[in-house]
Structure 1
Amino acid sequence: MHTRLYRNGVLEKEGFPIEEVSDHAADPDNTVWFDLCSPSSKELGLIGEELGLHELAVEDVLSDHQRPKVDVYDKHLFITVYGVHCDGDRLDPVEVDLFVTGNVLVTVRENEHFDIGEVVRRWDASPQLAGHGVTFLLHGLLDYVVDTQFDLAQDLDGQAEAMEESLFEDRVRDGRQLQRHMYVLRRNTTGLRRMALPMREVVGTLMRHDRSLAAGSGMGPYYQDVYDHVLQVTGAVESIREMLANVRETRLSEQGFRLNEIMKKITSWAAIIAVPTMITGAYGQNVPYPGSGQVWGFWTSTVLVALTSVTLYSVFKKKDWL
C-alpha cells in the first residue's frame, strides 16, 4: 500500500492500512499521505466521511476529464492535475486528484500510468524539507508533474524544429507521412496546452498569501520555482504552436509552388504537341494545301513540325518552364 506517516518531519512508518489513517491524522504532529488508484465510489465515500471531505469534491473525482484547478473548501483543498503518459505517439494524460487537509495528503490516480513511485523518490531525495509537513509532500508531487510536462514540451519542440528544417531538404519526402506527423504533433501540443496552461492558476492559487498554504509554511521559494517551470512550459507550448503554424503555411506555399511548376511543364508540352497536331491535321481536310499529294509536301510538313517543336522546346527551356 502507498501510505506514509511523518512525525515532526521524520518518516516513521509506511505501508500501513488505510484504515489507520484517521488515527494518525488525529495527532497534529503527524503528516499522513496515502494513495488510491482507480477507487470505487464506495471507497471514496468512506474516505470522505473519515476525513470530512466535501461531497462536491468527492463527486469531482468520480467525474472524468476535470479541468486542472484548485477548489478551496472550509476544511481542505481539492486539486486536479494531469500527469504525462504517451501511448506510442499519442499523448494520454492521467488525471490525478488531490485532497489536502492540514496534515493529510490524499492522491487519487486515474490509473497506474502515473508513476507515484517517482514522486516518492523525490520526497526521499529532500528529507530536510519534510518538516514542512503536507506542503512538502504537495510540492514534490506538483514538481514532478510540471517537470514531466516540461520534458514533453522539449521533446515536441525538437520534433517541430526537425520538421521545419526538413521542409527545405533536397530529398523528396513522403507527403502523407509528413502530413500525419504534423497532425500528431499538433494534437499532442494541444493536449499538453490543456494540461499546462491552467497550472499557472493552480500554483498561483497555492502561493497566494490569503491561502497561507505555501506562503506561510516556509515552502514559498520552492513553490515559486515550480511556478517558474510552469511559465517555461506554457511559453514553450505557445512557441511550438507558432512554429507548427509556420510549418503548415510553408508547406502550403511549397505545394502551391510545386503545382505551379507542374502546370508550366504541362502547358509547355501541350503547346509543343499542339503545333505538329495542327500542321499534320490540316492535310486531313478536304481542302487541298500546297504540296498535297506530293512527296515534297510531305517532307516540307515533316521539317516544319520538327523545327517548330525544337524552337518551342528551346524557348520553354530558356524560360525554365521545362
Structure 2
Amino acid sequence: MSRARLYRNGVLEAEGFPVSEVSEHVRDPSATVWFDLCAPSEAELAAIGEALGLHPLSVEDVLQEQQRPKLDVYDSHLFLTVYALTLDATGTLRHCEVDVFLTANAMVTVRENDLLDIDAVTHRWDAARERAGQGVAFLLHGLLDYVVDGHLQVAEELDDRVEELEDLLFDDRPQGHHLQRRTFELRKTMLRLRRVTKPMRDLVDGLDRRELGMIGADMAPYFRDVYDHVLRVSELNESMRELLGNVRETYLTLQGNRMNAIMKKVTSWAAIIAVPTSITGFFGQNVPFFGYGLPSGLWISVLLMVVTSVSLYVVFRKWDWL
C-alpha cells in the first residue's frame, strides 16, 4: 500500500492520491508532496523515479538490501538511507530500512517492511502543522526525529538489560552459563545497533551543509535537536560497551575469587583429615609404644586426633580459610 500527502502553502490539501499525480503536483512551486511506498516492486520504483527525475543509481540502491546509513547528493535530489529499530519480546533487534528521496518540493519514503509505523510519523507532522510551510525540511525532520527517538528507546532498553546483568553478578547463587550467554547476546545486539546509529552522526550533520540549501534558519534548531539525540545514542552505546566489558571482567574476577575460596576450604579440610590419618597410622605400627596393648593407648590416640583437628579448625577459621 502507498500513502501520499499534498501540502500547499503549508496547509494539508490532499491525501491518498496515486503516484501518477505526483509529477503534476511537483510542478507547482507552492506545493510540497510526500509519497510513501512499502516493499515496492521495480515497476513502482521506476514510475516514481520517472515522475521525479531520480538518478538511476539511487533507485538501484533501494533495490539492494542492507545498505549502510548514508547521505548521497545528486544534481536533482538527495538520497538518504536510515533504519528504524525496535526490540522484540525476546530482546532481538529488528530493523526496517527506510530510503528517502528528497527534491526541492517532494519527499518519497521507501520502506523495506511495515516495522516503521508510518502513522506515528504522520501524527508528528500533524502535531507540528504550524511548521508545514517549511516544505520538505519539515517532512524530513518529522521522519528523522521519529527514527532517532526509536534508536534512543532501543539504547535505553539495552542499558536496562546491562544493569540487570550487573545485578545478576552478585547473586548468592549466580548462574554462570546463563550470565555468559546473555552477555554474548547483548554484545551482538549492541554491535548491530552501533553499525546503524554511528553513521547517523555524519548523515544528520551533512544535511546542515549550506551548499545543500535543505535546512533553513527556522528548521535548523530542530535538526540540531535530532543531532543531539543521535549523539546521546552514540554515547549510550559506547558506555554500554564499557559496562559489558566491566561485567565480563568482574565475572571472571568473581569466578577466580570463588575458586580461590573453594581451594582454601578443600585444602583446609584435607589438612584436618590428614591429622587423624597420620595418628591412626602411627598407633597402628607393630612396635611397642606408650600405651601399646592397653586401653589408654586408644584414648590417647583419640584425644590427639580431636585436639589437633579442633585446633586446626579454629586456626583455619581465624584465617578465614573455612
Q: What is the TM-score of this pair, normalised by structure 1?
A: 0.91
Which range is displaced more, 259-268 or 275-284?
275-284
CA distance in 1, matches of 2:83, 2:260: 47
CA distance in 2, matches of 1:159, 1:211: 41
Deviation at 1:182, TM superposition (A): 2.7
Which range is displaced more, 71-80 or 229-238?
229-238
CA distance in 2, matches of 1:2, 1:289: 106
Identify if the C-alpha distance between structure 1 residues 289 and 279 changes in structure 2 by more than 3 Å, giving closer, same or farther: farther
What secondary structure is seen at the aligned counterpart in 2 of 1:320? coil
Aligned to 2:106: 104
Deviation at 1:283, TM superposition (A): 5.5
Deviation at 1:280, TM superposition (A): 2.5
Aligned to 1:142: 144
CA distance in 2, matches of 1:56, 1:281: 90
CA distance in 1, matches of 2:268, 2:278: 16
What amino acid sits opposite 1:317 in the alignment?
R
What amino acid sits opposite 1:311 in the alignment?
S
Aligned to 1:9: 10
Matches within 5 A, 1:170-319: 171-214=172-215, 216=216, 218-282=218-282, 287-288=286-287, 290=289, 294-319=294-319
Paired residue total: 319
CA distance in 1, matches of 2:93, 2:288: 75
Aligned to 2:29: 28
CA distance in 2, matches of 1:91, 1:284: 71
Deviation at 1:194, TM superposition (A): 1.8
Structure 2 residues not aligned, in runs of 5+? none
Which range is displaced more, 68-77 or 300-309?
300-309
Q: Is the 8 A contact 2:86 2:150 kept in 1?
A: no
What secondary structure is seen at the aligned counterpart in 2 of 1:49? helix
Deviation at 1:166, TM superposition (A): 4.9
Which range is displaced more, 150-159 or 10-19?
150-159
CA distance in 1, matches of 2:41, 2:298: 94
What amino acid sits opposite 2:198 in the alignment?
L
CA distance in 1, matches of 2:221, 2:120: 22
Deviation at 1:316, TM superposition (A): 0.8
What amino acid sits opposite 1:167 in the alignment?
L
CA distance in 2, matches of 1:139, 1:256: 52
CA distance in 1, matches of 2:284, 2:75: 99
What secondary structure is seen at the aligned counterpart in 1 of 2:256? helix
CA distance in 1, matches of 2:297, 2:64: 89
Matches within 5 A, 1:44-63: 44-63=45-64
RMSD between aligned residues? 2.1
Identify if the C-alpha distance between structure 1 residues 19 and 217 changes in structure 2 by more than 3 Å, giving closer, same or farther: farther
What amino acid sits opposite 2:192 in the alignment?
G
Cα deviations by residue, 1:113-138 (Å, 9 ceiling, x for unpaired) = 11111100000011111111111101
CA distance in 2, matches of 1:49, 1:21: 10
CA distance in 1, matches of 2:219, 2:194: 27
Q: Is the 8 A contact 1:2 1:34 kept in 2?
A: yes
CA distance in 2, matches of 1:59, 1:294: 103
Aligned to 1:64: 65
What secondary structure is seen at the aligned counterpart in 1 of 2:32? strand
Cα deviations by residue, 1:43-72 (Å, 9 ceiling, x for unpaired) = 323322332222221222122221111011
Q: In percent, how many aligned pairs have the same letter?
A: 56
Aligned to 1:122: 124
Which range is displaced more, 90-99 or 201-210?
90-99
Cα deviations by residue, 1:244-295 (Å, 9 ceiling, x for unpaired) = 222222222111111111110011111111222233245666x536255554
Q: Is the 8 A contact 2:68 2:81 kept in 1?
A: yes
Pair 1:158 & 2:157 matched: no
Q: Is the 8 A contact 1:283 1:289 kept in 2?
A: no
CA distance in 2, matches of 1:4, 1:54: 23
What secondary structure is seen at the aligned counterpart in 1 of 2:212? coil
Q: Is the 8 A contact 1:85 1:114 kept in 2?
A: no
CA distance in 1, matches of 2:82, 2:284: 81
CA distance in 2, matches of 1:108, 1:20: 18
Which range is displaced more, 135-144 or 44-53?
44-53
Structure 1 residues not aligned, in runs of 5+? none
CA distance in 2, matches of 1:44, 1:31: 20
CA distance in 2, matches of 1:211, 1:155: 36
